[in-house]
Structure 1
């Protein structure tokens, strides 16, 4: 075990961690024309790659989008799904279309996270093979998100795309599945609260309403 792995954390470091978690935001507004230092990008990607995974399968793959034309193609896929989502929302369609839901064109770095084809790992995932791969990749994304925040970079998770179309665009192998488009880059300011709360779209619920003991129970009135 390395010295880093054995290190205990001071009260000040613990406080910094919880402040970091509370400060994480899903960002949609980025500084156009800004850049991310290559060393910083590698640090946040390494943080993502340090995530836990079931059976140490490491199912994540990170695709860095460097081709401007490819970025525009991805933006078009997102825009198509944005309008399909609006149509599915019924009476809230126009309200939804007023929201800024992504920063694909403006962000400094665009990343796609994909699940690799199933490698046959059984350890820990015999009963839930795809679910455990997804959970493992989600852990990697959360690590990347927190690392970006501590580097004072914004990150936004875009889920509005048709997976098959994006898989074809990125030439994923059979069995590969894109699960996230991540917009990363400098921002003018971080939102003081989740943007959907600020916009009045939805309010987050307190932990007390979502915490049960022994059995599933309805939240207290």
Structure 2
């Protein structure tokens, strides 16, 4: 398949319009099963080392949502001590666990056999799961559905909530999906002055001949 200029522009627009959506932006509107499956199927099309497809998903029910939210709330307060600007930190809405329509916990399925491509870089299996998550994020955005990644969580606590054995699986991400009031024109943390966007030339360690 050959893509044209319009396709390339559409992809660029989806990528640059992707946002990490929080609870102050989700609205009370259900995601259809058809669209949820489209998001999950996009994960299946992600690259995976050795074609291992090591991603696994848990669609979270309300009872588990509440348990995850309670854990997040405690973790949020503890994390506050690590930052100088505690006032700004306290004002940030860093999740949308309860406000979003669907929560998905993402795991890496550990393999007991050797995987092609993981001989020396064992964590490439986990990196493959991250690729799947990005596919989900971009697909959701193309459907005008927001996604937020909740990272102030302790993997052990999340494993306990879902009764997952760490010997078999590794917790990678907790994702919140839902329709939004709007998609901001730029990342929320940038708008709030938490961080500035880095210039590309500052991110290139060494530049070879082009």
TM range, smaller chain: over 0.9
User: Where does the alignment leave 5 or more consecutive residues of structure 2 unmatched?
Assistant: none
**TM superposition shift of 1:199:** 0.7
* 1:121-156 C-alpha deviation (Å, 9 max, x unpaired): 331111121x21221010000000000000000001
**Among 75, 78, 85, the residue aligned to 1:81:** 75
Structure-2 separation of matches of 1:191 and 1:48 = 25
**Among 191, 194, 198, the residue aligned to 2:191:** 198
RMSD, matched Cα: 1.4
- Given that 2:42 and 2:135 are in contact with CA atoms closer than 8 Å, whether structure 1 keeps it comes out as yes
1:88-103 alignment runs, 5 A limit: 88-89=82-83, 91-103=84-96
Structure-2 separation of matches of 1:14 and 1:127 = 35
- How many residues are aligned here? 206
Q: Which moved more, 1:134-143 or 1:74-83?
A: 74-83
**Among 60, 66, 75, the residue aligned to 2:55:** 60
- Given that 1:30 and 1:185 are in contact with CA atoms closer than 8 Å, whether structure 2 keeps it comes out as no
**Among 29, 38, 45, the residue aligned to 2:33:** 38
Aligned to 2:124: 132
User: Where does the alignment leave 5 or more consecutive residues of structure 1 unmatched?
Assistant: 1-6, 216-221
Report the TM-score when normalising by structure 2.
0.93
- Alpha-carbon spacing, 1:199–1:214, altered in 2? closer, same or farther (3 Å): closer
